[in-house]
Amino acid sequence: MCIAYLALGDPQWPIFIAANRDEYHARPSTPAAPWPDHPLIIAGLDIQAGGTWLGLGAHGRFALLTNYREPGHQILQAPSRGALVRDFLLSAQTPGSYAQITHISGLAYNGFNLIVGAPGEAFYVGNRSAQTEATMITPGRHVLSNHLLDTPWPKASRLRHALDALPLSSNISHTVEQAFAILRDTTQAVDDALPDSGLPIEQERLLSSPFIISPNYGTRCSSIVAVHRDGSAFFGEISYDPAGRITERHDWRRPNLNP
């Protein structure tokens, strides 16, 4: 997953996430769905490494991951970053405890940003951050791309500005449709505003839009998670082909995610 927007602490919808997963089209994965052995967890599955990038579990627990862009600094045989999301969803650890343990072990992985949370609390871990411990995320609206939390890369600022204007209301279906439309923004940044992450400018340009379309690498799916104050939840996902065309959509509504 390469960009995620989080609105945390709203009185009616304390958790709202809108995210795009960018990945090589050839990398095998399954769309989000309740896991057969753990039906209270809704998440996709990376078939190649066995992890996931975004998921929702019981009691409104959630986790999401983005890679930290640092070309030329890959650790060979590093453990799967997607396992960090999977393991939190399968665990009973508090978000704070899990985040701190991940912070301690984080340097074994290639660059990542991880957010884990539940109603009332969320924590951020970036293994390329200078923070000395996992960071509690304050209530409000945040965005995460392929740098650190709330880094104002053009795509992150553009998505945040658009979604900040979207009210969270009792008509969550209307909010979801508007958010999905916003996530399909293919506007690229002007060259002077592009980040310098070590990639050739053509690649920086391609990756600078919230929604990416290219034959080999691009936005594979858009996902929206919303947890209501009463414990009910919504998880919606739209999948795309390499041309950016919708291939499938799935929505799950649960009156209460508690077992």
Phi and psi dihedrals of 167, rounded to 5?
A: -75, 145
Helices (H), 74-200: 82-90, 95-105, 154-164, 172-183
Q: What is the rounded distance in angstroms from the CA atom of residue 100 to the CA atom of residue 224? A: 26
The answer to whether the beta carbons of residues 13 and 226 sit under 8 Å apart is yes
Q: Give me the pLDDT at residue 1, please.
A: 61
Cα–Cα distance, 134 to 204 (Å, whole number): 29
Model confidence at 257, pLDDT cuts 50, 70, 90, reads very low
Average pLDDT over the chain, rounded to an integer: 95
Average pLDDT over residues 120-140: 96
Tell me the whole-structure pTM to 2 decimals.
0.96
Tell me if 166 sits within 8 A of 32, measured CB to CB: no
Answer whether residue 258 shows pLDDT above 90.
no
Mean pLDDT value of segment 216-234 = 96
Sequence length of the chain is 259
With cut-offs at 50, 70 and 90, classify the pLDDT of residue 151: very high
Fold of 3-254: Penicillin V Acylase; Chain A (3.60.60)
Run of H or E residues at 50: none
The answer to whether 47 and 41 have CB atoms below 8 angstroms apart is no
Using CA atoms, how far residue 26 sits from 9, 17, 23, 192, in Å, is 37, 26, 8, 32
Each residue of 170-219: pLDDT tens digit? 788 899 999 999 999 999 999 999 999 999 999 999 999 999 999 999 99
> Which of 204, 188, 184 is closest to 196 using CA atoms?
204
Q: Evaluate if residue 259 carries a pLDDT over 50.
A: no
Q: Grade residue 28 by pLDDT with cuts at 50, 70 and 90.
A: very high
pLDDT given for residue 255 in this prediction? 78
Q: Where are the domains of the chain?
A: 3-254
The reported pLDDT for the residue numbered 169 is 74
Q: What is the pLDDT of residues 59-115, one digit of tens each?
A: 999 999 999 999 999 999 999 999 999 999 999 999 999 999 999 999 999 999 999
